[in-house]
Amino acid sequence: MRIKFILPLCGLLLGASAHAAGLDQLRAFLDQTKTARGVFAQSVASKSGRKPQQSAGTFALQRPGKFRWHYERPYAQLLVSDGDKLWSFDPDLNQVTTRKLGKALGSSPAALLAGGDLEAHFVLKNAGEAEGLEMVDATPKATDSTFERVRIGFEDNLPKLMEIRDNFGQVTTLMFTEFHANPQLSKDQFKFVPPKGADVVGE
């Protein structure tokens, strides 16, 4: 089963002290980190207790609102945002889905990586320490949000995990095995042209 989670995807930082609380580290990231790239492993566990779905890939982001999220295995899928429009490309189906980001990005887990006014859309709080990580809980203020909570774990001022719990009891966990802050990124990474012959649906 293919995982079509829009990252989603996440955040994290430079500049706080090594033992700073998670919320301090998140705020330092928002102030100081403009670009990032790295490697992630993702696990999706359902409420039914079935075996979690595993995937892995790479990401790049440029605040505000631009990101490239590339699932490489077990199935290829590419998510690209130029800050205005989001494309989702399924190579196997040769299908592209596109939509405007609009205000939806501001209240989604993706905002925690790509930027935005987080405190306008989330209730943020320190969540203590767990397994050696400093945790932050982000609860959406919108009553019609599709998820209950995002939790981010930090170690030595770098993100180690991001956990998203949706309203159906499904938990998506992202482990950042590499995270590089403020690298030089090509503008082309955040552009997408549908391949010739692809089926394009959406806005």
Q: How many residues does the chain have?
A: 203
Residue 64: both structure tokens together: 């505000």
Instruction: Indicate the pTM of the whole model.
Output: 0.81
Q: Residue 70: phi, psi to the nearest 5?
A: -115, 105
Q: What residue ranges do the domains of the chain occupy?
A: 22-179
Amino acid 11: pLDDT: 35
Q: Residue 106: phi, psi to the nearest 5?
A: -65, -25
Amino acid 122: pLDDT: 87
Q: What is the strand order of the sheet 53-62 is part of?
A: 122-130, 133-140, 147-155, 158-166, 171-181, 35-45, 53-62, 66-73, 77-82, 85-90, 95-100, 199-202
pLDDT in tens, 76-115: 999 999 988 999 999 999 999 998 876 556 666 676 777 7
Q: Distance of CA 51 to CAs 6, 43, 77, Å?
A: 21, 10, 21
For the chain, the distance separating the N- and C-terminal CA atoms, rounded to the nearest angstrom, is 26
What DSSP line would sit under 33-90, residue for residue? Answer: --EEEEEEEEEEE-TT-PPPEEEEEEEEEETTTEEEEEEEESS-EEEEEESSEEEEEE
Topology given in CATH for the domain delimited by 22-179: outer membrane lipoprotein receptor (LolB), chain A (2.50.20)
CA atoms within 13 A on the CB side of 139: 6
The CA distance from 52 to 159, in Å, is 22
Amino acid 136: pLDDT: 95
The CA distance from 166 to 169, in Å, is 6
Amino acid 106: pLDDT: 60
Amino acid 5: pLDDT: 46
Amino acid 112: pLDDT: 74
Amino acid 162: pLDDT: 92
In contact, 110 and 126? CB cutoff 8 Å: no
Amino acid 158: pLDDT: 74
Amino acid 146: pLDDT: 82
Closest CA to 61 of 128, 113, 100, 24: 113
Ramachandran bin of 116, using left for φ above 0, alpha for ψ from -120 to 50, beta for the remaining angles = left
Amino acid 203: pLDDT: 67
CA angle 170, 172, 178 (to 5 degrees): 175
Amino acid 74: pLDDT: 93
Q: Which residues of the chain carry a pLDDT beneath 70?
A: 1-19, 102-109, 111, 116, 203
Amino acid 199: pLDDT: 94
